[in-house]
Amino acid sequence: MRNLPHFQLFIDGEWSEGSGAQVMTSENPATGQGWATFACASAGDVDRAVAAAKRVLDDPAWRDVTQTARGKLLYRLADLVAEYASKLGELETTDSGKLLAETSAQTGYVADYYRYFAGLADKVEGTVLPIDKPDMHVFTTREPIGVVAAIVPWNAQMFLTATKLGPALAAGCSVVLKASEIAPAPMLEFARLIEQAGFPPGVVSVITGDAENCAIPLTRHPDVDRIAFTGGPETARHVVRNSAENFAVTSLELGGKSPILVFEDADLDGAANGLIAGNFGASGQSCVAGTRGLVHRSILEPLIERIEQKASGIQLGDPLQAETHVGPLCTAAQVRRIEETLAKARGQGATIRFGGETSDRPGNYMKPTLVQCASADTETLKVEMFGPVMSLLPFDTEDEAIALANSTPYGLGSGVFTQNLARAHRVSKRIRAGICWVNTYRAISPIAPFGGFNQSGYGREAGVEAILDYTRTKTTWINTAQEPMANPFIMR
């Protein structure tokens, strides 16, 4: 095998191989060939990273850094992320198959997340309480929650890292960042920017590895105080069980089967664009993918015609090329799952209006697919496939549309297309999801909280409340009386 680029772990300010000597090869999804290798952490490496994170919380080099100074470090990190956005984007594209246009642009925008939390670093305040006892001065302060285990998946990893690392560092925590063992290269390269920004050794360690040797030891480690996890519901259940060992405060940002409701008065071009963005954007590899398109029966055919027309110009190809609209899926397993799910849907009476096939190109390519569903029980409406598959189901009334939208155990994203302002407010209020986009889809901002309901998880990332979730409240009582404290056994 030819010499491939190799990525090491970043633990306590040092680059190293895993102590277990485990090395994995990462495949380029566009070619199906190995393109890089990376070191994998062992349980001993996890111990070392967590020990460094715990130590640095009491180290004056981090403990005594003022809130304003922490903000300046984050501003420096933001500038570096923006400067290296193209390089990080190219690494992410090569490793995961996502479009270079998207990975580089998203990484550039991620810099604004670090700037946002940098600005919040010295805005976290305590409160003086109007206590009901004389001669008592009582106030609250917010302190860093402690050691954070931040676990991110391979898709949108720069964004999902920023929503955890930004508020955690702004709050004064230390972080062990666990990158997915699938496509971890950009995260291991990102660690160089942490080092360059000037954060003291141990404040952030970046590791990767499999569940048994890395993820499980990290999430159940007795010195981890908080877990921030993004991933699938099944893995999340294991994370929650592991957190019973350390009682770590846990937040979960999981997947979903997000509905997009298109009413009869919607602008058809806007609705078609929203459905395409929600299903074919990022090759469908998005936790908020709008994979359940619910369309008023009276406009179903005209809308499908618009989608077919627009989708006919989609270019499937090399994700590094600017003219490509849809690239490969990250893993071959995703392709197999989509093929199996489509086969079940056909057996349930669904019609494949276009796509439904793999490409003859090398790599993990799946053609953009539109499924016209015969019933709400169609398999493609129930299974999260993580690929470019759009499913449409007609409805007749507003109440029916809302019931269909809520007929899922998930609740992350949702969309509503209508030109009726009253309906937009009415419907968005009734949909059980953490995010509702009206006449748009997949918009994000560091200012807006991001997170789900039900089996899409709990906790919020981004927005002001995110930084508070990385703090804990301390209440301080000060007796201001001139007399000494009274004898506790003499009641007055």
Alpha-helix runs per DSSP H in 84-139? 85-96, 100-120
**Number of C-beta neighbours around residue 325 at 10 A:** 19
199-228: b (≥16 Cβ within 10 Å) or e: bbbbbbbbbbbeeebbbbbbbbbebbbbbb
CA contacts within 13 A on the Cβ side of 484:
2
* Total count of residues recorded for the chain: 492
For residue 25, list its beta bridge partners: 37
* Residue among 172, 429, 387, 394 at smallest CA distance from 281: 387
**In a 3-state reduction of DSSP, which class is residue 321?**
coil
Using alpha carbons, select from 274, 483, 258 the residue that is nearest to residue 384. 258
Structure tokens given for 243:
């957190």
Interacting residues of 368 by C-beta distance below 8 A, sequence separation 6+: 279, 280, 311, 314, 316, 326, 354, 355, 388, 390
CA distance 21 to 110: 33
Q: d(Cα 301, Cα 305) in Å, to the nearest integer?
A: 6
Catalytic residue, candidates 253, 379, 384, 461: 253
Please give the single-letter amino acid code of residue 439: N
Is residue 367 within 8 Å of residue 388, measured between CB atoms? yes
Alpha-carbon distance 230 to 232, whole Å? 7
Q: How many whole angstroms separate alpha carbon 285 and alpha carbon 189?
A: 22
- The phi and psi torsions of 479 (rounded to 5 degrees) equal -80, 115
Residue 310 neighbours by CB under 8 Å, 6+ apart: 272, 273, 276
Is 253 noted as a catalytic residue in this protein?
A: yes
Active site residues: 253
